[in-house]
Chains A and B, each alone.
Chain A
Amino acid sequence: SAVISQKPSRDICQRGTSLTIQCQVDSQVTMMFWYRQQPGQSLTLIATANQGSEATYESGFVIDKFPISRPNLTFSTLTVSNMSPEDSSIYLCSVASGGAPGTQYFGPGTRLLVL
């Protein structure tokens, strides 16, 4: 399994500002993902962070709002830009092993409250 850490663990931000969330993995992984989990809801995939190239975004998520970096195989950042109260959520970093069999592991999450 992979050990994943996220920073910050939680934050309270003012609307209109931006927050960058860091994700660090203890081993090199091919695939890294960013998810959003709104209160009481399931997990929604924001994007796949690709090493050395632009992230692949899911429908409803755009690079201008959620820019992602993946400079190497153990680290990624997600920025939540120009925040509004609707962005209040848990943001989760996840890593997966591709192929068969595959598994997916999650970080502890970043709890964001936008006032």
Chain B
Amino acid sequence: GQQLNQSPQSMFIQEGEDVSMNCTSSSIFNTWLWYKQDPGEGPVLLIALYKAGELTSNGRLTAQFGITRKDSFLNISASIPSDVGIYFCAGRSNTGNQFYFGTGTSLTVIP
């Protein structure tokens, strides 16, 4: 199946710094989702995006649906230690029911 490319693969940042990560696809999607997975847990949905150009926030997290419909971005402002985890993007086209998942970005926040 299709897999989305996430960048960067891993990040090590100081507490308080801002974080940016992105997700790219070779196909056009009409829905983008962003998840966070803590160690030993299932992925938890953070943000859902449904329109090209849409910018949606959830607390310190902001995600954008790229205008090309082939990419999406997630920003975390003022990172804190509990932001540690793996962040996954997922995309779906309007011709299918299946979401395709990104390769993941591992975030480490150094206190």
Q: CA–CA, A31 to B88, complex, Å?
A: 21
- Chain A residues in 8 Å Cβ range of B92: 102
Our pick among B1, B35, B42, B50 for the contact of A45 (Cβ within 8 Å) is B1
Q: Mark interface residues in B1-45 (1 if CB within 8 Å of A CB, else 0).
A: 101000000000000000000000000001101010000111111
For B, the interface residue count at a CB cutoff of 8 angstroms equals: 25
For A, the interface residue count at a CB cutoff of 8 angstroms equals: 26
- Chain B residues in 8 Å Cβ range of A1: 45
| Interface-centre pick from A1, A41, A42, A58 (highest chain B CB count, 10 A) | A42
Q: Mark interface residues in B60-104 (1 if CB within 8 Å of A CB, else 0).
A: 000000000000000000000000000010101010011101111
Q: CA–CA, A44 to B31, complex, Å?
A: 19
B31 engages A102 (CB within 8 Å): yes
Shortest distance from the beta carbon of A85 to any chain B beta carbon, whole Å = 20
Shortest distance from the beta carbon of B7 to any chain A beta carbon, whole Å = 14
B residues contacting A by CB (< 8 A) are 1, 3, 30-31, 33, 35, 40-45, 48, 50, 88, 90, 92, 94, 97-99, 101-104
| Interface-centre pick from B50, B98, B104 (highest chain A CB count, 10 A) | B98
Q: CA–CA, A100 to B50, complex, Å?
A: 8
Q: Mark interface residues in A1-21 (1 if CB within 8 Å of B CB, else 0).
A: 100100000000000000000
